[in-house]
Chains A and B, each alone.
Chain A
Amino acid sequence: MKVSGFKWLFGKNSEFWPTNMKTGMWAWVGHRLTGVLLVVYVFLHLSFLSQASLDHLSFDELMAKMAQPLFVFFDFLLVCAVIYHAMNGLRVVLFDLGIGIRKQKLVFWIMMAISAAMVAAGFWAISVLIFGGD
């Protein structure tokens, strides 16, 4: 199939139009979006760590800034992206091993249930830093 321009991506006839997408497609789109986000984060992570090479004090100050509730909330979103990507990725690995392909929707929802539990645990661990202690 010849793909020219971006018509395949947008519009009601696109397979990516929300009402045209089914479970497997949503899983795939989510995997790509979180994947791209996580690659960007790795570079951000390294650039923040680079601050320590310049001056220890400025690194400590930067980390103190990152401990503010808003940035900790971004950390929580990052954790959500990691958990989704990891659990859906595990689903892909299972399929490649020949496990569960015929029940792909069920496997997706099982993985999402596990993800939800992990996100809840993550939120519980992180919430102290967002809403304060006590």
Chain B
Amino acid sequence: MSDKRIATSKVAGTWAWAMQRLTAVLLIVLLGIHIWASHFADIDPEETITVAGVEARLDQVLFVVVDYSLLAMVLFHGLNGARTVLFDFDIFAKRKKMIDVALWVLGIATLIWGIVVLFPFIGVGGW
């Protein structure tokens, strides 16, 4: 398994490795802001989450930027992490190109889905 892991790190690539570290550090900061803002700042902890409550937070452009950045980075970090896990198995490592294309398609589709998902809270799109 040890030889295989060295081989795997070559399969994964330097660019992906560097981005994984960069997003890791940024995610800690962004996730901290996200959890704090949505559950603790100016909120009674016993108050449940409502559309109105989320709307009030997302009235501030800063939090829209935080949430969308978080979405993009979490998708990259999560799917790139899944890619690393998959490449530890020969059947997937042999199909590197196919896995890469599939994960990019899934990532971009989910990014678009995630952007649309916040529209009702931001008030864009007429809901």
Interface residues, chain A, CB within 8 Å of chain B? Answer: 1-4, 8, 15, 32, 35-36, 38-39, 42-43, 46, 49-50, 52-53, 56, 59-60, 63-64, 66-67, 82, 86, 89-90, 92-93, 96, 125, 128-129, 133
Contacts and interface: CB of A to CB of B under 8 A. Distances in A.
11 contacts: A1-B4, A3-B4, A35-B82, A46-B110, A56-B127, A59-B51, A59-B120, A67-B49, A90-B28, A125-B45, A129-B46
B40 A56 contact: no
Contacts of A3: 1, 4, 89-90
Given A36-B85, A46-B113, A46-B114, A128 B120 contact: no
Contacts of B85: 32, 35-36
B116 interface: yes
B48 A128 contact: no
A49 B122 CA distance: 13
B120 A53 contact: yes
Given A53-B119, A82-B31, A129 B114 contact: no
A128 to B, nearest CB: 6
Taking chain B's interface residues, is the majority helix, strand, or loop, or is none over half, making it mixed?
A: helix
Given A32-B85, A93-B24, 13 more contacts: A1-B2, A3-B4, A35-B85, A39-B79, A59-B50, A60-B48, A63-B50, A64-B48, A67-B49, A89-B24, A90-B24, A90-B28, A93-B25
Interface of B: 1-4, 21, 24-25, 27-28, 31, 40, 45-46, 48-51, 54, 74-75, 78-79, 81-82, 85, 89-90, 110, 113-114, 116-121, 127
